[in-house]
Amino acid sequence: MASFSISNIESWERFYRANFINSLTGFKSVNLIGTVNELGQTNLGIFSSIVHIGSNPPFVGYINRPVKAAPHTLANIQATGVYTINHIHPSFVQQAHQTSAKYAAGISEFAEVGLTPEFKENISAPFVGESIIKYALSLQQIIPIKLNDTFLVIGKIISIHIASEVVSEDGFLQLDKAASVCSNGIDRYYTTELIKRYPYAKPGIEPQKIS
């Protein structure tokens, strides 16, 4: 085992530290967020900081980097109050990753990378046509994280569009069969394989494998 103190971490070269710390937090849900600006111009960005906030009401959060580093998605969400989150599958990982390039405001990443904007009734933000698991959100709150000028953006799910065969009888979504990818660090993408499902844990009871 190697051990590193905060002094070690602070002394690391910038990109070495970014790689290390970004991958230390583990595998991440990586998704495309679709928005429009006030002129209706579409925008698409890749985000790997989606976090479950609650099921009832259905709240989802993501961390937005400082405004200078990642301005467009946040500005569009503030302007319109609506956005979509779209799972990424192996067939378009390359296009999804390419949305992380710094395109100018008003340039649509959909056209630049070759993904299909898809509009659904009553939702002004575009979904990704190629994604088989996607949902729209209504902005609830933007919480500034003053420690490093980032933001926790929280939305309420207002509609879900999903390939029917992914949904289990108990509501669980078989994301491994849907081949939704996860990421690690800033540039690696992964498929997954189920180890086990465990039942609800209670004190003093040895858990049994469900399947």
- 167-206 binders of a second copy (CB under 8 A): 167-168, 170-173, 175-176, 180-182, 184-185, 187-205
Mask of contacts with a second copy, 29-68, x by CB under 8 A? xxx----------------xxxxxxxxxxxxxx-x-----
- The answer to whether 158 contacts a second copy (rule: CB under 8 A) is yes
Contact indicator for 61, 53 with CB cutoff of 8 Å: yes
Rg, the chain, Cα only: 19
Instruction: State the minimum distance, in angstroms, from the CB of residue 86 to a second copy.
Output: 11
Structure tokens at 133: 């698991």
Measure the CA–CA gap between 74 and 79, rounded to whole angstroms: 9
- 118-137 binders of a second copy (CB under 8 A): 120, 132-133, 135
Please work out the total of residues on this chain that contact a second copy, with binding judged by CB under 8 A: 112
Measure the CA–CA gap between 139 and 142, rounded to whole angstroms: 8
- 74-103 binders of a second copy (CB under 8 A): 87, 90, 93-94, 97-103
Measure the CA–CA gap between 29 and 53, rounded to whole angstroms: 14
List the one residue from 67, 105, 111, 143 that touches a second copy (CB under 8 A): 143
- The answer to whether 5 contacts a second copy (rule: CB under 8 A) is yes
Measure the CA–CA gap between 194 and 197, rounded to whole angstroms: 8
